[in-house]
Amino acid sequence: MFFGNITTPANILANREKNMKNSKGFSLGLLVASWFLSASVDAQQQDVYCFEGTKFSPSFIALETAFDSNLHQWYKELFQLEIIKEFTFPDGNTKGVLMKRDDFVVEVFNKKSLNESVQERGLGVLKFGFFTDANLQKLQTCLKTQKIKAKRIFKDKNLNASLLLIEDPEGNYFEVITKN
């Protein structure tokens, strides 16, 4: 005669232990899979270029910073610039990097004389701006995911333009501008 599976206390305990072992393996598998996926997302976020496909107005921007600063690298990565030349002045007190993307040029001067704090340097340029065809809302969202300080979007009726204020790692401000 066939009665099927008979449920006894011993069978219940054996099945419970078997299920617990399987669930531990399953939990460990989920943990490993979620770690792998989060690492993949982090790697993808690092490869996000917020200005990809954006057209810039012809512009030339020159910045000065402390001698040991790596500010040029921040601008290079943000705007996807190509390094055209690196140079050092004959006295060795200033070095620089000239970069560009089409007719959008950024030059960064690293000066030994600027190694003191920003307060001691005194006043200078408040901010600079350039026109693009970017969607400022999408750009701001993208920049914030990259931990870039995309402060605010201001709609200027007098200029008939919208301006996205961005702060670089050394406290310099610039505005990405689109016509309304």
- pLDDT (tens digit per residue) in 120-178: 555 556 789 999 999 999 999 999 999 999 999 999 998 899 999 999 999 889 999 99
Instruction: Please compute the mean of the pLDDT values over residues 55-68 and round it to a whole number.
Output: 92
Count CB neighbours of 16 within 10 A.
10
Q: What's the CATH fold of domain 59-179?
A: 2,3-Dihydroxybiphenyl 1,2-Dioxygenase; domain 1 (3.10.180)
| pTM (predicted TM-score) | 0.66
Instruction: Please compute the mean of the pLDDT values over residues 104-110 and round it to a whole number.
Output: 93
Instruction: Tell which residue, 151, 75, 78, has the closest CA to residue 107.
Output: 75
pLDDT digits (tens, 9 = 90+) for 21-53: 544 444 444 334 444 444 444 444 457 899 999
**Per-residue pLDDT at 101:** 96
Task: Provide the residue ranges of all domains of the chain, joining segments of one domain with +.
Answer: 8-47, 59-179
